[in-house]
Amino acid sequence: MNLAHFWHRRLNNIVVLCLLFLYASCNNSELYRRPSFEKPQFIIELAETKLLVSELERDLVQPWEVTWGGDDYLWFTEKKGNVLRMDPNSGSVKKVLNIKEVYSEGYTPGLLGLVLHPDFTSNPYVYLHYTYVDSTSTDVFDDRGKPNYVKSRLVRYTYSNENDTLIEPESIFHEIPGSRGHNGSRLTISDDHKLLFSIGDVANSRNAQSETSLPGKVLRINLDGSVPKDNPIPDNYFYSMGHRNPQGLVSANGKIYSSEHGPDNDDEINLIQPGGNYGWPFVEGCCDKDNEMTFCDTVTVTEPIYKWTPTIAPAGLDYYNNPAIPEWKNNLMLTTLKGRSLWLLELDKSGERIINERIYLQKQFGRFRDLCVSPKGDVYLITSNSDWHIGRYGWMYENVPENGNDRVLKISVIHESEEENFKDLKVLTEDSKPIEMFVQAKSGNDANGMFVYNNNCVSCHMKQGQGIPDFAPPLIGTKTVADKTKLIETVLFGMSGEIEVKGKKYNEIMPGFAVGLSNNELKDLLNFIRLTANDYTDSISVKEIEVIRNSRTL
């Protein structure tokens, strides 16, 4: 080969490489071209990273759980009994199961927790928890002494790839006490391949402090349904107790974290310890009130690692530690309902303390129910604007989308080469403070009756005590308000089950305020209801409240 020919070939190679480089540079956006089903909504701008918020699916009906499967598909549930599976590349959604016996009327019954076996390819198991009606049940009663026919099941299904459906249900628990409220459950699988199952107290606070009752607990189960040998109590699924209504659960860094609804105060993030007692119903949040300290003097209570008053209604919980979004590494990710936002809660190195909080997407999509993180570091969220709460408390929820509810959303990194594609989108940053809540609890003995009423009762019974049709009974001229003893018992300990007030039936749950309010606050509240909203002349004393409080063990 002569020298001229050598340089001619060398020059050709250089030209070809340059052309390839220019072509790749001009068309680099093609590498990150997003599927057409992803509809961009907003940009979130972090310190170094820009994120795209896209809508993937809409018009869902009360979704509850979303999780990334070992098959690289997105799985989610709808409370009415549907399990859906989404191909994240094409956006196609397939209903792989409908459970016809699911009961979903009320606060939080329905098809709830879902998790896939960690080795899904070899063991294509899907674990589900749902409520149903057992019309033959006569042995479980509500607070009014009537049979409670609502129960729940934890069931393992097998996914059939051939038929793209769930088959062969195997019951793990089939007669868990249930209710129209506080069933709120989540499922997760720990690093040591144990199934963790959180369940609320099913509107009966006594369950939470009983080691032999399943509700109000976090349970720990072998993946075949048997009891792990190293559980805190031999031959018992019990792992922790004293839970009111947990609605988030995640395993991360060898630890288990849970988010939990308080009543009108002290929403919580808990680090779940084996054998731990989290205090409900005797403790709300930390042991910092006189009546709580009495309980904490006799029982070791595990206090939350984070809490909120005013409440934000914490829901789904996950953990972010992917390099895709470095600003979010080592953070718990929390969706909120009343707070209508995504919270990032930074953990310290031990994972036992939250050292920083950040809030995103307030009021942009309404209530967020759950979220999950994909192996690529994308975050998927589901909203919860089609459930009962929006209808009941519409006055609380401004800026909730009216069309297309509910949705699956995706948060993913924007690559530099595709920024031009989204230049017209609204840019969001971290929110400086939480939404101001309309109903806020306040502790202390200086609160007058109207203040206590406005901060604990008005959301259901309304400003004038007129109630909400078919939901909350009125407080004007009723037999319960007229009966001092019955009124004190109801406000202290709450009630559930069907009642009739002024010829109309109601079947919702009223929480008790025995822990959240002092006797002085209760006195002011009850006298405001009796003497101001009504025209009774015999006031209620602190002594009367104290006698009834002490006569009943919660």
Question: What is the pLDDT, as a whole number, of residue 140?
Answer: 62
Least confident window among 63-77, 113-127, 370-384, 392-406: 392-406
Confidence at residue 19, expressed as pLDDT on a 0 to 100 scale:
44
**Average pLDDT of span 414-431:** 94
**Which of 63, 193, 182 has the alpha carbon at shortest distance from 127?**
193
Domain(s) labelled CATH 2.120.10.30 in the chain stretch across: 59-180
Quickly state the pLDDT bin for 446 (edges 50, 70, 90).
very low
Q: What is the mean pLDDT of residues 528-532?
A: 87
CATH number, domain 449-551: 1.10.760.10
Over range 170-188, report the average pLDDT.
Answer: 90
Average pLDDT, the chain: 88
Taking a C-beta distance cutoff of 8 angstroms, is the pair 185, 117 a contact? Answer: no
Q: Could you write out the DSSP letters of every residue in 262-303?
A: -SSS-EEEEEE-TTEE--TTT-SSSS-SHHHHHHHTTS----
CATH 1.10.760.10 domain position(s) in the chain: 449-551
* Residues 336-371: tens digit of each pLDDT: 999 999 999 999 999 999 999 999 999 999 999 999
Q: Please state which of the ranges 72-76, 96-100, 339-343, 436-440 shows the lowest mean pLDDT.
A: 436-440
- Domain 59-180 matching CATH 2.60.120.260: the answer reads no
> Which residues are within 8 A (CB) of 227 and not within 5 positions of it... i.e. 6 or more apart?
221, 235, 236, 237
Q: How confident is the model at residue 232 (pLDDT cuts 50, 70, 90)?
A: very high
More confident position, 486 or 11: 486
Q: How far is the C-alpha of 31 from the C-alpha of 326, rounded, in Å? A: 22
* pLDDT at position 4: 52
Element of type H or E holding 3: helix 3-26
Per-position DSSP letters for 139-159, written without gaps between them: S-B-TTS-B--EEEEEEEEEE
**DSSP category for residue 218:** E
CA separation for the pair 194, 237 (Å, rounded): 11
What is residue 222's predicted lDDT score, i.e. its pLDDT? 97
What sign does the dihedral 360-362-365-366 (CA atoms) show? positive
pLDDT score at 31: 52
pLDDT, tens digit, 9 for 90 and up, residues 5-16: 545 555 555 544
Please compute the mean of the pLDDT values over residues 465-478 and round it to a whole number.
86
Signed CA dihedral, 447, 453, 458, 463: sign only: negative
- Per DSSP, what are the bridge partners of residue 156? 127, 170
pLDDT of residue 146: 60
CA distances from 124 to 70, 115, 187, 514 (A): 9, 11, 16, 46
Q: Is the pTM above the cut of 0.75?
A: yes
Q: What is the percentage of the chain residues whose pLDDT exceeds 70?
A: 90
